[in-house]
Amino acid sequence: MQKKIEQNPNQPELKLSAGPIKATVWKNHSKKEDGQDSEYSTITLERVYKDKEGNWQSTNIFRVSDLPKAQALLNRLYETIIVKDVVASV
């Protein structure tokens, strides 16, 4: 599943999920030492689950069986970000 998110402050740029594993891309802005604006992406990776009371929770602790899904999501994010950066620089 892939969702494109509208650009708003503190809003994710992109969300991907594979089962209980969720990856979110955040766009960040800063200034370099020379004063130029800089833009970079950061990624959060989490596992969601329901607790004993049925409430949704999230954690950054993964089971061994989660690793293939996490790897697939991270590969997809990397490709998406790199392709987008290459297209933007052309």
Residue 27's domain comprises 2-89
User: What tokens does 13 get?
Assistant: 């740029």
Q: What is the CA radius of gyration of the chain?
A: 16
pTM of full prediction above 0.85: no
Total domains in the fold of the chain: 1
- What's the pLDDT tens digit per position in 4-28? 555 556 789 999 999 999 999 998 8
